[in-house]
A and B are shown apart, each in its own frame.
Chain A
Amino acid sequence: MHALAFSLTALALVGCPQSEDHGAWRAELFTERENEPRIEPTFDETIRTPDRLRGIAAPAPDGGVVRVACFTCHGILQVELSTRAPTPLQPDVLGPHVGLLFDHGTLDCAHCHDPADPSHLRTADARSLPTTEALELCSQCHGLQWTDFQHGAHGGMRGHWDLNAGPRERNHCVDCHDPHRPAFGQYRPMPPPRDRFVPTPPHRANHGADHASDAHGEGPHDVQGEEAQDDEAHDDEAQEETP
């Protein structure tokens, strides 16, 4: 949220800053391939399906972790979906889900879960979806991010910019946002450069205080930390979410 708070100021300051010169130059850059026929790319762009959408993590006999599919239990259990909700709260969810935290706007559980079968999601137009289809759910309420996502401007990617050279993999919303507490957490930064000529700004002195106090961070959540363990493809061993 930090970013949004100031983005309006930012725009006001920057305005629409392209001088004519800059605009013309950019337009020039684009003309070359405009009218060429578009070829179907050879390789695919795929969206990851994070493990957490397939079931819940449970301890395995060998000490590791197994995924137990939602259906394993919910196929036999008759479970009532809670009707309680708003923010921020720790719904006293039972069974294997104990400890679930919730902080997602003013949503109710039933905005996303199918009351008839809580292990399924429910869209705004009342269709029941398996959890693996969560993207469709998120996109119904977050049009801006969904549009950006579809154009590669939200959510990141790995692989190839050129789909004729190789494939590309996209992250899923829930790789980065816990559906129940979607705010993006704080990170410990990687170490700063130690070269001789890192510019030091005039107001640097003010930062001294931050330095000493948060050697171990003070982040509100450990959202990404949990996911990092679940999904090795997320590729962030180095990530140290603050507790």
Chain B
Amino acid sequence: MSALNRRRLLKGAGATLGALAFAKAIEPVFEFTSNLSGDEFLQKHYRELSPDDLRTVLARLEAETKEKYGADVTIRDIRPQDGVQFGYALNLSTCIGCRRCAEACHVENNHDRKTHQSYIRVFEMQQGSFDMEQGDATYDHPVPQPGRYYMPVQCQQCDNPPCTKVCPVEATWKEKDGIVVVDYNWCIGCRYCEAACPYHARRFNWEAPEISAEEINPNQSYLSNRIRPQGVVEKCTFCLHRTRTGALPACLEACPTGARVFGNLLDPDSEIRWVLENKRVFVLKEELGARPRFFYFFDV
């Protein structure tokens, strides 16, 4: 039977954060054993894991990656920093639609090679149009083309996220630095969140990701780029395994045009603050009230 069905059976049965007496009662089982699937079954929600539990879980996931993918990886649990609220801005006048950002995301986040998955979709837009639903994400010709502009769209890390509210098992939530995350071991794959996201920013893992050992990025974290199990919904986390340690997201570093600006909204000297205060920024689908943390702007 597929992992999907097991998940549904065990975790979908009205499980909520509070209703974990069962898991609590059998706590000693959280010893590291080689019985991987059994452990996974009984794992608690990320936010209820004690530091010891967590160490066990991370070790188990590392061992599992070794077993299934043949790769030695380090999976860390990286928490939000105090005094940091992340924000992202993108200059649509400079973006040329080359998809280097989407590619960098693909590599950084250990996406499935076969489907060429990425958390970023770049829409080729008609000048004058702002409706991303009219954009084309599958273009394949030299860019930029005259009469077009390019709009990369990824998770907007909304402050009023429609996606987290619809999750029946609280497997997705907003962290205090603004990043919306998923507990990939808790997600039951119902895809409500995917449907609720107005920005089409969530992805469903139809199949177990295919990726060769040499291509795996070994610098991983539990809530972001570790290889996700089949049958769960996944999303951009602003590369929290990088950004929570002070580094820039992979998509920003990969941009050959310098269109992307990232930083701490609480720091008055940050680049992102300068952009918000000096450019006429806008957000996508503002009328929906989701309050994105991802801003777009044009020169001038």
Task: Say whether A and B bind each other.
Answer: yes
Binding site for B on A (CB under 8 A): 2-11, 13-14, 16-19, 21-22, 25-26, 29-30, 32-34, 38, 144, 148, 151-162, 164-166, 168, 171, 176, 184, 186-196, 198-204, 207, 210-211, 214, 217-219, 224, 235-236, 238-239, 242
Main secondary structure on B side of the interface with A:
loop
Q: How many A-B residue pairs have CB under 8 A?
A: 229
Q: Determine if B54 is an interface residue (Cβ-Cβ < 8 Å).
A: no
Q: Determine if B264 is an interface residue (Cβ-Cβ < 8 Å).
A: yes
| Distance, CA A214 to CA B35, complexed state (A) | 54
Q: A3, A4, A33, A199: which contacts B268 (Cβ < 8 A)?
A: A33
Contact B140 A191 (CB under 8 A): yes
Which B-chain residue is minimally distant from A228 (CB atoms)?
Answer: B256
- Across the interface, which residues of A come within 8 angstroms of B286, CB to CB? 17-19, 22
- Across the interface, which residues of B come within 8 angstroms of A4, CB to CB? 93, 299-300
Contact B91 A214 (CB under 8 A): no
Contact B261 A159 (CB under 8 A): no
| Distance, CA A97 to CA B294, complexed state (A) | 46
Which B-chain residue is minimally distant from A152 (CB atoms)?
Answer: B271
Q: Determine if B144 is an interface residue (Cβ-Cβ < 8 Å).
A: yes
Q: Determine if B16 is an interface residue (Cβ-Cβ < 8 Å).
A: no
- A32, A157, A158, A168: which has the most chain B beta carbons within 10 Å? A157
Contacts known (A19-B286, A33-B83, A176-B257); A201 close to B142, Cβ less than 8 A: no
Interface magnitude class on chain B:
35 or more
Nearest-neighbour CB distance to chain A for B113, whole angstroms, equals 10
B 237-268 to A, binary, CB cutoff 8 A, 1 in contact else 0:
00000010111100011011111111111111
Q: B103, B138, B246: which contacts A161 (Cβ < 8 A)?
A: B246
Q: Determine if B291 is an interface residue (Cβ-Cβ < 8 Å).
A: yes
Q: Determine if B133 is an interface residue (Cβ-Cβ < 8 Å).
A: yes
B 64-107 to A, binary, CB cutoff 8 A, 1 in contact else 0:
00000000000000000001010101011111111110110000
| Distance, CA A210 to CA B144, complexed state (A) | 12
A-B contact pairs, 23 of them (CB 8 A): A3-B94, A4-B300, A5-B127, A7-B298, A10-B298, A11-B280, A17-B286, A22-B286, A29-B266, A153-B89, A153-B275, A161-B248, A161-B262, A186-B142, A189-B98, A189-B122, A189-B139, A192-B140, A193-B138, A195-B203, A199-B133, A236-B256, A239-B100
- Across the interface, which residues of A come within 8 angstroms of B212, CB to CB? none
Contact A151 B274 (CB under 8 A): yes
Contact A189 B299 (CB under 8 A): no
